[in-house]
Structure formats: structure tokens, C-alpha cells
Amino acid sequence: MWALPAHAMPDSFADLAAAQADSVVNISTTKRVKSVQGLPPGFGFPKGSPFDDFFHDFLRNMPEREQHALGTGFIISSDGYIVTNNHVVDSADEVLVKMRDGSEHKAKVIGTDSKLDVALLKIKASHLKAVKLGDSEALRVGDWVVAIGNPFGLEQTVTAGIVSAKGRVIGSGPYDDFIQTDAAINPGNSGGPLFNVRGEVIGINTAIYSRSGGNNGIGFAIPVNLAKSAIDELRRTGHITRARLGVHITDVDEETAKALGLKNREGALVPQVEAGSAAEKAGIRAGDVIISIDGIQVKKAHELPIRVARHTPGDKVKIGIIRDGKERIITVTVDTMPDDKVASRHTPGQTDKVRLGIVVQELTRDIARQLHTRVHHGVAVERVQPGMPAARAGIMRGDVIYRINGEDVKSMKAFTSTISAFKPGSVLRVMLDRGGDQVFALIQLPKQRNKN
């Protein structure tokens, strides 16, 4: 069909775009919120105050207003199943799917996976044209890819580029393994398909790296191989049940490699094993270095949660480790991951005081409504100081910082603690919510410790 030699540059993507156009849909969401216009930030009374009940009754009786957002999705079955990003439909009261022919359908959210940022929708329709899911593992850096979506609400926009990198970790969550592409991806593309030259979906467009909110030639897509099992499980059960080992992990640095007598820095160091976990029961110990899972090499710590997540609780998994300079295989019967708990990456910290050049405040429900965010935790940026690290990274007033280096920022205290844990000169991978759009930024901390 469109199969080309790996080295060949396509003459045109017109046939691919025409063939896939009916499978790509526009998604619009509506969320009803209480109108709080006119109320100053922080308006209210202390909890327990005699006026507290009055204040909450006042808010409950305020008129509702509607917030609207746009995204993209793609049809995976002729009977109406559609895939998009979780952040596109999160907290929506109504989801509307618009087809290429202009017809509109109300969609039901079958299930979502917030950690992978995938959602499965269903519309009442039949004989739809579905995409074919490809093999993202077969992608090579430099391969041509095509994105079809609805950037800024402009329907059926086609952009092309190449795979810039694979296995990118941007701090979005525990299963970061993104395809990086220079195919133009902008707000509104979220949830749309990334095609290879054969017209197969090999990624789900999810995030951008931007200083302005628009395309800077760096976009990220979830590999479809990582999403396939989640999509299948959502279709069967409506929810995700993941397997876990019960270990905290970190990358192997040079000092650790020398201290443990390792030949290289590959693998995931285990600084902590949770009591009663599957790992502890199987005999994994703190200080072990995990080097493989099911015979597949683990080179970096972030690869381990991804490999474990492909299993079902109760599976027997062969874990290769190095202990006391010797390699061995331990069989672990993985158990079920509780909600909001992952095999976490642990980063030893310092107490260096750093300045990002921003003023932030806790993200409250009212502030989240005013900023039209899709996230419900983090810190809102009130002010950005020109010339400081945050400004140079493109952080803006009104942005919500909700994740730093893969760790959720759930409070002001957590934000302060997280920032202070990094050494001068470190680079922070920051996930932002900008008016409902997901944005990725890199903040370079000052190389000298601040004294004030």
C-alpha cells in the first residue's frame, strides 16, 4: 500500500491522509462548573467558622457555567470504539464526537488510564472505518511519521515529520517511554494518531515541549505497543489492574557502580523493598541491581515499571539481578498495584536552596476552575521573574506545575520539598497544565547555591 524502503523519502502523504481521514475524529468536551467570577482568590472563611456553612451554601447555589475543550481521537473498531488521551476527557460531563462527514455522536467513556494517559470511548454507530494498529517497537529513529488531528480546533489537519528519538522520559508518569517527533503537534492534537508510512497507528499524540504553548518541533506520542494492553483491558473491564513488584528503584550512578563492582551502569538499583510485597516474598533485597525481566535487558530504571505493567497480577516473572557481584534469577509472583501507587523511582536529595524565579500558590478547586485546568493537584504560577530559570524554560503566569521528574506535586509543601532536593545545576523535567493543555518544560537550576 504505502510500503517504502526505510531510506526513501515519500513523494507525498496524500494517499495515506485520504485513506485514514474517516478514522480520525474531533472530540469536544463540556464540563459544568460553578461560576466564581467576581470572587477574589482565597475568598472564604476558616473551616469551622460560623460562616463556613453559609459560604458553602452560597457556592452551591451559584449558577453553573460551561467549560469547553477540544481534542482528537481515532476509531479502533467498526462498532464505535474510539481511543484518545485521558486528559482530553478527564472530568468531562459530556463528550461529543464529530466525524469527518459532520455527523455528531454523544460518547460514553468506557474507561480511562490516568497513568498512561489513555481513554476509551464508545459511540452508537456501526460500519465505521477503523485504523490498523502497527508495531511501535519496529520504529527507528529517522523513520517518517504522519500526525492527523484538530490543532486549535482546525479539523483534519495533516502534518509530517520523522521520529526524532525513542524511549523519552519527560516526567509525565511512571510509564514514560515516549516517541519524540518533529511532526507538528499543537493543542487540540492530543489523543490523535501518529501513523507510519504504511498507514498504521504507531503512537498516540500526547504532549508537546513548548515555550509558547505552540509547536516547537518537539512532540511526544505514547507508543501504541505500550497502549494496546491497556486499551484491550479497558474494553473488557472498563478499568486497569496493574501488576507490581513492590520495590523502589533508581538509576545506577558511577559511584554506585564502582561500590558494587558492576561492569557498567546498566540496570535499576533497588534502594528499598516494601514490607510484605511480592519482591520481598520472592527474596529480592535492598541493594540488588535488577538487570533483566523475562530475559529482556533492563538498562535504565524507568524501563522496569513499563515491563512489569505488561503483566497481570499473579503472573510469575523472572527477574535477573546482580547481588554481591554475582548474577542470579529470582522468580516473582507479581501482585496487584493499589490505586495511586507505583514501583517508584527514588532520588537521593540534598538541601541546597534554589531559586526558580516564580511565585506559586496551592491549586485549589476555585483556582483550577479559573485557570480551566484538567488537573486537580499541583501549584499555580502567580508570577514569573524575567531572566530566571523558570522564565527561560517558558513557564508562564497561570501555568499549573503538577509533576516534577515523574513525581506528582500534590501540595505547596511537596513542591518546596521536591525543589530543595535537587543539586545546583540539575535539570528538572516539569509537566504543566496550561489552560487544559499538557505542556512539558525543562528547567535548568542555577549552578551555584543561592545564599538568600
- Is 433 annotated to bind ligand? no
Catalytic-role residue among 117, 177, 399, 433: 117
Q: Is 117 a catalytic residue?
A: yes
- Is 405 annotated to bind ligand? no
Longest CA–CA separation in the chain, Å? 74
Catalytic-role residue among 23, 190, 210, 277: 190
Catalytic-role residue among 87, 105, 248, 302: 87
Asked if residue 395 lies in contact with residue 383, where contact means CB atoms within 8 angstroms, the answer is no
Asked if residue 146 lies in contact with residue 163, where contact means CB atoms within 8 angstroms, the answer is no
- Is 117 annotated to bind ligand? yes
Number of CB atoms found within 10 A of residue 15's CB: 13
Residue 203 identity: G
For residues 408 and 353, what is the distance between their CA atoms, to the nearest angstrom?
20
- Is 87 annotated to bind ligand? yes
Give the torsion through C-alpha atoms of 19, 20, 23, 24, to 10 deg. Answer: -140
Q: Where are the beta strands (DSSP E) in 264-417?
A: 268-273, 289-293, 296-297, 316-323, 326-333, 335-336, 358-362, 379-384, 400-404, 407-408
φ/ψ (deg, to 5) at 242: -110, 155
For residues 192 and 134, what is the distance between their CA atoms, to the nearest angstrom?
15
For residues 266 and 260, what is the distance between their CA atoms, to the nearest angstrom?
12
Q: Where are the beta strands (DSSP E) in 44-175?
A: 64-75, 81-84, 94-98, 104-113, 118-122, 132-133, 144-149, 157-168
Give the torsion through C-alpha atoms of 54, 56, 60, 63, to 10 deg. Answer: 80
Helices (H) and strands (E) counted in the chain, each on its own, are 10, 27
Where does 66-199 have alpha helices with state H?
86-89
Q: How far is CA 227 from CA 103, 107, 212, in A?
A: 28, 20, 29
- Is 153 annotated to bind ligand? no
Q: Is 28 a catalytic residue?
A: no
Q: Is 87 a catalytic residue?
A: yes
Residue 126 CB burial class (10 angstroms; 0-12, 13-18, ≥19):
exposed
Binding site for substrate, by residue number, is 87, 117, 188-190
Active site positions, annotated: 87, 117, 190
Binding site, by residue number, is 87, 117, 188-190
